[in-house]
Amino acid sequence: MARLDILEFPDARLRTIAQPVKTFDAALQQLIDDMFETMYEAPGIGLAATQVNEHIQLIVIDVSEDRSEPLVFINPSISVVDQELAEYDEGCLSVPGFYETVSRPRQVIVKALDRQGQAFEMTVEGLLATCIQHEMDHLNGKLFVDYLSTLKRQRIRSKLEKAHKLAASA
């Protein structure tokens, strides 16, 4: 397995719309394994392929404390079950060091394919529902900072751009 580079905001590649997965081959299986390794090492609880510059509809998630519940969602779609919103302080591996409160539907149904291409459906709520919606936003070229005020988003952008310049000159 290999640790992949995670794109960071404001990298324009994070705005790329992901394409459906059509081929379930060894390369896809390797990408899934590499994404889990990358997510766990970061550390994070979710990672979309877009974040590692692979623009396909693939998400890996594990919200368990002990990394024992890895989930793979390929070509996912969601529908809202409950219009009630839940607020979570969201962070993102592509926006390191920043956490902001975002409101999302509390409960959703997700339909997707697993790593072998088998269809499944889950009704999820709480942290898992939030994580799935957050990662699905990545597949659509959207980041959690897009839910924030223009001022907050601009402050985060400026701080990350400054950090990137310092890292590049080091």
pLDDT of residue 35: 98
Report yes or no on 35 lying in a domain.
Answer: yes
| 138 annotated as ligand-binding | yes
Report yes or no on 1 lying in a domain.
Answer: no
Report yes or no on 2 lying in a domain.
Answer: no
The number of angstroms, rounded, from the C-alpha of 102 to the middle of its chain's C-alpha atoms is: 14
Report yes or no on 139 lying in a domain.
Answer: yes
Report yes or no on 58 lying in a domain.
Answer: yes
The beta-strand segments (E) located in the chain are 46-48, 58-61, 71-92, 95-113, 119-125
Report yes or no on 6 lying in a domain.
Answer: no
Report yes or no on 108 lying in a domain.
Answer: yes
- Residue 125 is a catalytic residue: no
| 92 annotated as ligand-binding | yes
| 131 annotated as ligand-binding | no
Taking 70 as the threshold, does the pLDDT of residue 1 lie above it?
A: no
CATH number, domain containing residue 27: 3.90.45.10
Q: What is the mean pLDDT of the segment spanning 22-43?
A: 97
Query: From CA 163, how far away is CA 55, in angstroms rounded?
Result: 25
Query: From CA 30, how far away is CA 40, in angstroms rounded?
Result: 15
- What is the domain count for the chain? 1
Of 8, 90, 100, 135, the active-site residue reads 135
Report yes or no on 7 lying in a domain.
Answer: no
Tell me the pLDDT tens digit for each residue of 127-167.
999 999 999 999 999 999 999 999 999 999 999 999 888 88
1-5, 14-18, 161-165: the lowest-pLDDT one: 1-5
Range of the domain at 22: 12-169
Tell me the pLDDT tens digit for each residue of 101-121.
999 999 999 999 999 999 999
